[in-house]
Amino acid sequence: MTYNWVLAKRLISSPRISKHASLLFLFLSICLIQCTTLAHAQSANAPETADRLPLRGTEIEVWTGGGADPIGANGVTQGNSQWTAGLRYGWILTDAHGPGFLRGRFEYAVDALPVVMVFQPGGHASGFGFDPLIMKWNLEPRHRISPYIELGGGGLISTKQIPVGESRFNFTPTGALGVNILRGKYHWSVDFRYFHISDAEITRFNPGTDTFGLRIGWGVYIPSH
């Protein structure tokens, strides 16, 4: 036991061994630093697994939807249908407010509607629209589901009158009840939507088209920093 300890002390005190030990220590230190840096980089680039919530920040979403008019004037708007597709950009402006199940966050958004198609007697009409005023209340998420209430409006320009005899420019107030389905970085949205088309009596003939239908979207929340 004593002999081994004396031998070890001689080896450590040897200049050659000390030089080798210093080089080995330097090499191990560099390896440790490199491994730590690599582990940190891998952690930073790891796939995001937590659901992104509708918190203060922005929202980008693409969507499509359609519906029909079950209550309009017979032979004019009743039974007419529409299909739309578009892009949303929204700003979630507040933290959570409100009591109980109504607790949520306010979002202001705009929708661009590059595709609008209305199927009606006299031939279908196509066009584009823009909704500059959308007010959305995102309720607190529960079990990866975030319900929302939405009201908005804008305008629509079409290739034909909607309906025939009315204007080619119409206002488009809308309302929706839906849910955001949170799935990691991205989310899906599904809502039941009311979409009204009317020229607000720009023309004397103004029956209006009241469509009820579904809309589906896919988007991402980008939290503010």
Rounded Cα distance, 67 and 201, in Å: 23
Is 97:103 a contact under the CB 8 Å cutoff? yes
Secondary structure (3-state) at 32: helix
Rounded Cα distance, 78 and 122, in Å: 13
- Per residue in 171-224, pLDDT (tens digit) is 999 999 999 999 989 999 999 999 999 998 888 887 888 999 999 999 999 998
In the predicted structure, residue 47 carries a pLDDT above the cut 90: no
Task: Identify the band that residue 7 occupies on the pLDDT scale cut at 50, 70 and 90.
Answer: very low
pLDDT at 38: 47
Q: How far is CA 5 from CA 17, 18, 19, 20, 22, in A?
A: 16, 17, 20, 20, 21
- Per residue in 72-113, pLDDT (tens digit) is 777 778 888 999 999 999 999 999 999 998 999 999 999 999
108 CB-near residues (< 8 Å, 6+ apart): 90, 91, 93, 134, 135, 136
Residue 42 phi/psi, 5-degree rounding, is -65, -35
pLDDT at 172: 96
- Biggest alpha carbon distance in the chain? 114
Q: How far is CA 40 from CA 2, 80, 117, in A?
A: 45, 58, 51
Residue 44 phi/psi, 5-degree rounding, is -70, -30
Peptide bond preceding 15: is omega within 30 degrees of 0, i.e. cis? Answer: no
pLDDT at 84: 96
| Pick from 36-40, 58-62, 194-198, 216-220: least confident | 36-40
- Per DSSP, 142 falls in state B
pLDDT at 2: 45
Question: What is the reported pTM?
Answer: 0.75
